[in-house]
Chain A
Amino acid sequence: MAEQILLKSLEVPGLAGFDIYRKLGGYASVEKALKNFTPDEVTAEVKKSGLRGRGGAGFPTGMKWGFIDKSTDYPRYFVCNFDESEPGTFKDRHIGQLNPHQLIEGMILGSYALGARTSYIYIRGELFYVLKIIEKAIAEAYSNGFLGENILGSGYSLDLYCHPGAGAYICGEETALIESLEGKRGNPRIKPPFPAIVGLYDCPTVVNNVETIAVLPWIINHGADAYAAIGIGNSKGTKLISACGHINKPGIYEIELGLPVEEFIYSEKYCGGIRNGNKLKAVVAGGSSVPILPADLILKTAKGEPRLMSYESLAEGDFETGTMLGSGGFIVMDETTCMVKNLLTFARFYHHESCGQCSPCREGTGWIEKILQRIENGQGTMKDIDLLVSISKHIEGNTICPLGDAAAWPVASAVRHFRQEFEDHVKLQRCPLSK
């Protein structure tokens, strides 16, 4: 198995406590960074490591940090996006619940690099028990001198707060998260300006995903080159994949980027194959928002090369025949799954979670759900299938934030790859897979 950066000591009992975490080498990176590195050197190290945002978009983390203007007197903020609510994704919760100190350690490093004096972990409202764990860990970090005034005598001070949301998927969008953190309605802002210029309380802000931040201690401890040595191409390092669906061993796996998808699904080390010896039908590779791919296209690209678990390989063929690594929510479906029903479930989610600010998403998501419900119930027409495609096309790219795209992509891809099944629903006037 590949190098374990995030999952390494998770089985150690009591890891969530400060003493055991410290005994295992925890907070060493903070000591190292505060003593030996200037903030810009930490940023340079992260840039060199090739780390990319693990929240879904895969934007290079170091570059994101580089957009911050450090020449002004404005306070800067570092925010952790713990609003993990993408269907199929459950990796961040795992880190927060079992290894909160690694997250806090990463928060200190990131805050130090950006020169932030106050940082926030914005946690999803439903994860209240995780909030309790993190708050306890923050208190321990304070009492051991890793947070608060003058950390380790370095002169650098940092206050860290854990702030619960009220359970809205949209607050995982960084500008909506910032609005919510400011105490307002969680509506995404219109960009530009981007948070690096005008963010939290109108100050320069960086928002990073939990997994991205939790990797930082390892990068500082072992060096950027060691991190960049893991992975393939521009996909460096390891990635947590939360595998679920019709596989024998659902769970969270840390993989080296570049692992063949086929090996990931069928190897005993990972998912362990499809349940009951069934046939693989489709895979959603990176959380419900990314395009769904049928079995042949997820195992091999359109060119016939084996598909790898990496940003580039999964995206190969664009949306015609490819998908995205996304947040790592790996949903596997076997031959007993109805694609219309599955899409309906996704569509209902996006309808429910649309913030309602801009018209295409507000009205389009509901419309898509209603049409899918009709098709699934056997009352659809052939025209409805084309209508679905046209609605998704009209939402995509025309909205304020990516939620519209996220609602449109699964629809467009499901119809593209499984049109026959939609037509069967219309012809038979029922779901062909139901008995």
Chain B
Amino acid sequence: MSLVKVTIDEIEVEVEAGTTILNAARKIGGNVVPPAMCYYSKLEGSGGKCRTCLVKVAQGSAKDPRPMPKLVPSCRTVVQNGMVVQNITSPEVMEARKAITEFLLINHPLDCPVCDQAGECSLQDLSYAHGLADTQTIEERRTFAPIDIGDKIKLHMNRCILCYRCVMVADQLTDQRVHGVLGRGDHCEISTYITKAVDNDFSGNMIDVCPVGALTDKTFRFKSRVWFTKPFDAHRDCPKCSGKVVLWMKGEEILRVTGRKDKYGELEVFICNDCRFEHKEDKDWEVEGPRKIERHSVIGQNHYEK
């Protein structure tokens, strides 16, 4: 595989040809990584929708140094040799990101105090970094009633930002997808096909890939704020999946089981529903030790990783 050189925010990095700008930025790490609300490296075809990762390409390539006319989604734009990208160094990009954050929030209920996702929510992180202090909208938000889309998953459509990740999980991980996006525009909703329920061994991963609190774990709902629970890496011998999970404990009690997420909030491996929902006893698991939380979220503030 040939290597190409790309400069992002004046930092040069060498990556394999065919890498996207976002992944090149992740190779550099730190502040230059654009936020991604819909891109998910483990899901094929994801990305390009939320537009939070827009960046400016100041120079297309060494061969053709013309800049790209519009901001491009870094998650779906492949780097060229000699490409010069501006992310946080471009005021234009920062303005666009601010605007996109505002767009994502104008119909979002901002019900973080009662949302299970609070504390590990990508939208919270995004608005913390790029949101306005005050709202410019006085309009009523579009609302949906929360529904059960399976016996273990609750859907709060109000909070959804239509990243399509859960649709792709169902497409790429399970036998048959029974839910999808209905409707058009801002009245789009995630829903199941007429009376079907999402019911398969890997449906729980939809909860983990959801960047916001639209899909939540019914076995964990309202049990605790996530920052009061402590994560431990654990594993078990599972016939269906790798069995590598994170246990979220409060005292001796296992409140929740999730997959292991990396610093970009992406699962390292998908886990099955058996592990996620059915094994919440101490004896079910081989505990490896406390999980290191690298994200800047409130969970990390507990500093219990030592």
Contact = CB atoms under 8 A, between A and B. Distances in A.
B185 A358 contact: no
B137 interface: yes
Given A370-B139, A398-B99, A358 B184 contact: no
A250 interface: no
Given A190-B73, A367-B139, A360 B100 contact: yes
Given A359-B104, A394-B103, 17 more contacts: A170-B184, A185-B180, A185-B181, A351-B185, A356-B185, A360-B103, A362-B188, A365-B185, A365-B186, A366-B142, A366-B186, A367-B106, A367-B139, A394-B100, A398-B71, A400-B48, A400-B49
A118 interface: no
Interface string A341-373: 000000000011111111110111111001100
Given A370-B139, A398-B71, A363 B48 contact: no
Contacts of B106: 363, 367
A360 B180 CA distance: 21
A370 B47 CA distance: 29
Interface in B44-84: 47-52, 54, 70-71, 73, 76
Contacts of A351: 185-186
Interface in B21-57: 47-52, 54
Interface of A: 168, 170, 185, 190, 351-360, 362-367, 370-371, 387, 390, 394, 397-400
B107 interface: yes
Contacts of B113: none
Contacts of A398: 51, 54, 70-71, 96, 99-100
B184 A354 contact: yes
B232 to A, nearest CB: 36
B162 interface: yes
A59 to B, nearest CB: 15
A353 B103 contact: no
B5 to A, nearest CB: 21
B103 A356 contact: no
Interface residues of B, number: 35
Q: Is the interface of A mostly helix, strand, loop or mixed?
A: helix
Contacts of A356: 162, 181, 183-188
A359 B184 contact: no
B76 to A, nearest CB: 5
A358 B37 CA distance: 11
B100 A359 contact: yes
B107 to A, nearest CB: 6
A10 to B, nearest CB: 35
A399 B96 CA distance: 11
A398 B99 CA distance: 10
A353 B184 contact: yes
Interface centre among A190, A352, A359, A394 (most CB of B within 10 A): A359
Contacts of B137: 367
A352 B96 CA distance: 24
A360 B162 CA distance: 12
A134 B184 CA distance: 29
A338 to B, nearest CB: 22
B99 A360 contact: yes
A355 B70 contact: no
A363 B54 contact: no
Contacts of A353: 184-185
A352 B107 CA distance: 16
Given A354-B185, A354-B186, A359 B73 contact: no
B186 A362 contact: yes
Closest 5 pairs between A and B when the two form their complex, measured CB to CB: A394-B99, A356-B188, A354-B185, A363-B103, A190-B48
B136 interface: yes
Nearest to B162: A356
Given A367-B106, A394-B99, A399 B181 contact: no
A360 B101 CA distance: 9
B247 interface: no
Contacts of B198: none
B99 to A, nearest CB: 4
B161 interface: yes
B186 A387 contact: no
Contacts of A394: 95-96, 99-100, 102-103
A362 B161 CA distance: 10
Contacts of B181: 185, 356
Interface string B149-166: 000000000000110100
Nearest to A390: B99
Nearest to B70: A397
26 contacts: A168-B184, A190-B47, A190-B48, A190-B76, A354-B184, A354-B185, A354-B186, A356-B183, A356-B184, A356-B188, A357-B49, A358-B48, A358-B50, A358-B51, A359-B52, A359-B100, A360-B100, A363-B104, A363-B107, A365-B186, A367-B106, A367-B139, A371-B139, A394-B103, A398-B96, A399-B51
Contacts of B103: 359-360, 362-364, 367, 394
Contacts of A362: 103, 162, 185-186, 188
A154 B71 CA distance: 48
Nearest to A359: B103
Contacts of B162: 356-357, 359, 362
Contacts of B180: 185
Contact of A397 (B49, B71, B102, B185): B71
A355 B95 CA distance: 24
Contacts of B188: 356, 362
Contacts of A357: 49, 162, 164
Nearest to A367: B106
Contacts of A360: 51, 99-100, 103
Interface in B124-138: 136-137
B76 A366 contact: no
